[in-house]
Amino acid sequence: MAEEPLIVARGLVKRFGEFTAVDGIDVSVERGEAFGFLGPNGAGKSSTMRMISCVSAPTAGELRILGMDPVRDGVAIRGRLGVCPQLDNLDTDLSVFENLTTYARYFGLSRAEARRRAGELLEFVQLADRAKGKVEPLSGGMKRRLTIARAMVNDPEIVLLDEPTTGLDPQARHLLWERLYQLKRRGVTLVLTTHYMDEAEQLCDRLVVMDGGRIVAEGSPRELIARYSTPEVVELRFAGGADAAVKLDGVGERVDPLPDRVLVYARDGDAAVAEVHRRGLAPSSVLVRRSTLEDVFLHLTGRTLVD
Amino acid sequence: MMTVMAAGRAVRRGLFGGVSAGRVGAVLGRNVGALRSGPAYWLVLLSGFFEPLLYLLSIGVGVGALVGAVPVGGRPVDYAVFVAPAMLAVSAMSGALAETTFNVFFKFKYARTYDAVLATPVRPVEIALGELTWALVRCLFYTLMFLVVMVVLGLTSAGGALAAFPATALVGLAFGAVGMAISTFLRGWQDFDLLTTGQFTLFLFSGTFSPVQDYPVVFEVIVTLTPLYHAVELVRGLAVGPAGWMLLVHAGYLVVMAVAGLWVASRRIGKLLLV
């Protein structure tokens, strides 16, 4: 028998006064999945996450988490969630170890159990040697790992991560991804928001692309690339600027001129390059690459800068 | 009486319904943990104790030598005996207030401590109760030491000290709760100047240094409406006398403050952080 999805949203809406942050979205997340909300700033990702975290009541629509109502059963639901917020809110008055034990107590764990969990989790996020130290001197990546450890302290069924790697350097990101992958392998359901395409491709089984409070696309990273892009993309640079774009009409499936380069979406990148040369064009650089979620994302949400 | 009981039930169900002692204890435990973080907090703690004590010594004992006796309940007492219970009430007030204003405000607005706490099963009212309990611990630490000083200096009897001690707890709860409610309205540190001024005005004119009966009638009426007056009268009545039914009125005033403060603080924490 199919289990009810852990998270079900139907026509979910969040308004702040006149402003509609989330404008009627339908989402369902199954147990064990890694599910992503992808979108530019202001797309409504964080508002959605806060509603799922049961710290923000939906304005309209239906939301069920672990089969319960987040407004009525908030206490019970939050007891089974782990939340890693966008901005670290670790307790700077407490040591690294105490941050975990204190948090465990909020979930009703005994002191002994809290200490045991804290020790295990610091090992897991590779911070055991910092246990007695303060939080303040930790690097950004360490703080984020500690926040993830804190989110795991109650052995949650769902872990919610709001932009888990924003602001981290590449090494820190990769370490974090690897730890999150380990969590997923243990059967923990991950729900994350990100605006990094590579992160979504690395971590998510399934994702939705949000823009302006609505869902504009849904699927696995591979499906989305297949549906909204071409298998390959050719990046062309021209010494004389992008004027050459007009002469590229009809090359590949679609041509996207940018200020500094021209993107040609094609089923076969090499064939497209051959066609470019056949037309007598001489780009100063040519790069044929696989299509990524970034191409999908930019295609769906446009190139206007959102702040 | 029936309405009081009905109101009590409504408060228990509405405000405290589903409150978990364990989660309140966890919020309290967080503050115990923070005590270990370094000497800074202990320094704040100690300085808070000395302030009313220094007033007692300089004004109560020092100026008191010039003033002579003051009538309390028709009975003349030393000026220091008159001032000491007031300073005891003040130390209860400021101990609790310091915790629920400065510290709560910082955790609420800057450290974002409560955002993290509210992502767990802990509810706003449990945060409020935990912080208030911690404020009570600080308040009682001050008043216990202060009472020892009073007994040693012969400003109250051991019996008076025992009677006044629980009253200082009520004073701490009342001011702690109202202070916490006020902190949720403060916009930034600049608003603390207002708070400090308010607190200092109460400190000077609540029958602390002179009997309110000596004020012009208009001021006397105004003072009898303000909170520290009731705290001072309650504590003085128990420590020095005379005990009368008016003490119940004073205690009632403080109970209302405590409940209303808790209610407002819980509501505001939820309203501002759970949006």
Q: Which of A216, A237, A256 is the last residue of a domain?
A: A216
Neighbouring C-beta atoms of residue B178, cutoff 10 Å: 24
| CATH of residue A146 | 3.40.50.300
Number of residue pairs across A and B with CB atoms under 8 Å?
A: 77
User: Do A210 and A243 have their domain in common?
Assistant: no
State whether residue B19 sits within 8 Å of chain A by CB: no
Give tens-digit pLDDT for B101-137: 999 999 999 999 999 999 999 999 999 999 999 999 9
A19 pLDDT band, cuts 50/70/90, is: very high
Q: What sign for the dihedral angle of Cα A295, A298, A303, A305? A: negative
Contact between A108 and B121 using a beta-carbon 8 Å cutoff? yes
Structural domain ending residue among the three candidates A188, A216, A244 = A216
A307: in domain? no
pLDDT in tens, A121-149: 999 999 999 999 999 999 999 999 999 99
**pLDDT tens-place string over residues A187-223:** 999 999 988 888 888 899 999 999 999 999 999 988 9
Q: Examine residue A291 and state whether it is found in any structural domain, yes or no.
A: yes
Q: Are residues A198 and A73 in the same domain?
A: yes
Q: Does residue A247 or residue A165 have the better pLDDT?
A: A165
Q: Hey, are the CB atoms on B34 and A55 less than 8 Å from each other?
A: no
Q: Do B116 and A102 touch (CB under 8 A)?
A: no
- A112 plus A28 within the same structural domain: yes
pLDDT for B4: 59
> Residue B115 is nearest to which of A79, A89, A102, comparing CB atoms?
A89
Looking at the complex, report in whole angstroms how far the Cα of residue A163 sits from the nearest Cα belonging to chain B.
16
Decide if B111 and A92 are in contact by the 8 Å CB cutoff.
yes
Of A216, A239, A261, which closes a domain? A216
Residues A13 and A145 grouped into a single domain: yes
Q: Which chain B residue lies closest to A150 (C-alpha atoms)?
A: B116
CB contacts, 8 Å: A150 with chain B = 116
A248 plus A167 within the same structural domain: no
In a domain, A221, yes or no: no
pLDDT attached to residue B7: 62
Query: Which residues span the domain enclosing A29?
Result: 7-216
Tell me the percentage of chain B whose pLDDT exceeds 70: 95
Higher pLDDT residue, A272 or A243? A272
Collect all residues with Cβ–Cβ distance below 8 Å to A123 and sequence separation of at least 6: none
**Chain B interface mutation, best of A48, A91, A160, highest count of B Cβ atoms under 10 Å:** A91
- A209 and A235 in a single domain? The answer is no
ipTM associated with this complex: 0.89
| Interface list for B 243-272 with A (CB within 8 A) | none
Q: What is the pLDDT of residue A307?
A: 47
Amino acid type, B137: V
Q: B25 CB near a chain A CB, below 8 Å?
A: yes
Q: Does B40 touch chain A (CB under 8 A)?
A: no
pLDDT at residue A304 tops 70:
no
Query: Based on the domain organization, do A28 and A126 belong to the same domain?
Result: yes
Residue A230 located in a structural domain: yes
Q: Which of A87, A94, A108 sits opposite B33 (nearest CB)?
A: A94
pLDDT computed for residue A196 by the predictor: 82
Locus of tokens 């005996």:
B81
* Nearest chain A CA: its distance from B47 CA (Å): 20
Which CATH number fits the domain that encloses residue A251?
A: 3.30.70.980
Residue-level pLDDT at B9: 66
- Cα separation, A243 vs A261, in Å, equals 10
Minimal Cα distance from B27: which residue of A? A106
- Mark yes or no for CB contact A106/B120 under 8 Å: yes
Instruction: For B45-78, write each residue's pLDDT tens digit.
Output: 888 888 889 999 999 899 999 998 998 888 899 9
Which segments of B1-56 are extended strands (E)?
A: none
CA–CA min distance B95, chain A (Å): 20
Q: How confident is the model at residue A231 (pLDDT cuts 50, 70, 90)?
A: confident
| DSSP annotation of B71 | E
Q: Do A247 and A162 have their domain in common?
A: no
Q: Which residues in chain A have Cβ-Cβ distances shorter than 8 Å to B111? A: 89, 91-93
pLDDT at A202: 86
- Could A106 and B111 be called an inter-chain contact, meaning their C-beta atoms sit closer than 8 Å? no
Predicted pLDDT of residue A303: 61
* Position A306 in a domain: no
Q: What percent of chain A has pLDDT over 90?
A: 64
Tokens 């700077």 map to which residue? A92
Contacts of A76 in chain B (CB under 8 A): 121
On whether both A186 and A54 belong to a single domain, the answer is yes
User: A60 and A168 in one domain?
Assistant: yes
User: Per the CB < 8 Å rule, is B275 touching A16?
Assistant: yes
The Cα of B14 is separated from the nearest Cα of chain A by a number of Å equal to 15
What average pLDDT is seen over chain A? 90
Instruction: Tell me whether strands A206-211 and A34-38 are parallel, antiparallel or unpaired.
Output: parallel
Q: pLDDT, tens digit, for every residue of A82-101?
A: 999 988 899 999 999 999 99
Task: Tell me, yes or no, whether A1 lies in a domain.
Answer: no
Residues A155 and A268 in one domain: no
Kindly state whether residues A102 and A121 are assigned to the same domain.
yes
* DSSP symbols for chain A: -PPPPSEEEEEEEEEETTEEEEEEEEEEE-TT-EEEEE--TTSSHHHHHHHHTTSS--SEEEEEETTB-TTTSHHHHHTTEEEE-SS----TTSBHHHHHHHHHHHTT--HHHHHHHHHHHHHHTT-GGGTTSBSTTS-HHHHHHHHHHHHTTT--SEEEEESTTTT--HHHHHHHHHHHHHHHHTT-EEEEEES-HHHHHHH-SEEEEEETTEEEEEE-HHHHHHHHS-SEEEEEE-TT-GGGGGGGTTSSSEEEE-SS-EEEEESSHHHHHHHHHHTT---SEEEEEE--HHHHHHHHH-SS---
B23, B33, B119 ranked by CB distance to A102: nearest:
B33
Record: contact B33-A106, CB cut-off 8 A: no
Structure-derived torsion over alpha carbons of residues B28, B34, B36, B39, reported in degrees to the nearest 10: -130
Residue A134 lies in a domain: yes
From A140's Cα to the closest Cα of chain B, the distance in A is 16
> Which residue's entry shows tokens 């989660």?
B23
B120 and A107 within 8 Å at the Cβ level: the answer is yes
Number of structural domains in chain A: 2
Task: Average pLDDT across each block of 10 residues of chain B; the chain has 275 residues. List them in order.
Answer: 61 73 95 82 82 91 90 90 96 95 92 95 97 96 95 95 97 98 92 93 93 91 95 96 92 97 96 93
For residue B245, what is the DSSP state?
A: T
The answer to whether B23 contacts chain A (CB < 8 Å) is: yes
